[in-house]
Amino acid sequence: MSWDESRYKATCGACGHEGVQVRRSNDYGESDDRWEGFETVPANEYEYYRKRSVAHVPVCHCKSNDIVIGALIE
């Protein structure tokens, strides 16, 4: 089983802090995200807000979870 890894620029909408979203997906359509430069918190308390199930959501050191995903990083 092979994983494809894509890196996207991620920017905090509140303070402008920049990090990286690392999205991995495999041949079975499974995917997960890792975050570089941001903390993550369990998604449960945000599920009502995001309306989708992800294991963790990113949160900036400024406490904002308004993380904007940007362009693919080559």
Shortest Cβ 37–Zn ion spacing (Å): 10
Shortest Cβ 65–Zn ion spacing (Å): 9
Shortest Cβ 4–Zn ion spacing (Å): 29
Dist CA 43 CA 7 (whole Å) = 21
Residues that bind Zn ion (CB under 5 A): 12, 14-15, 17, 60, 62, 64
The smaller minimum CB distance to Zn ion, of residues 57 and 60, is found at: 60
- E strands within the chain? 3-12, 18-26, 31-36, 39-42, 56-59, 67-72
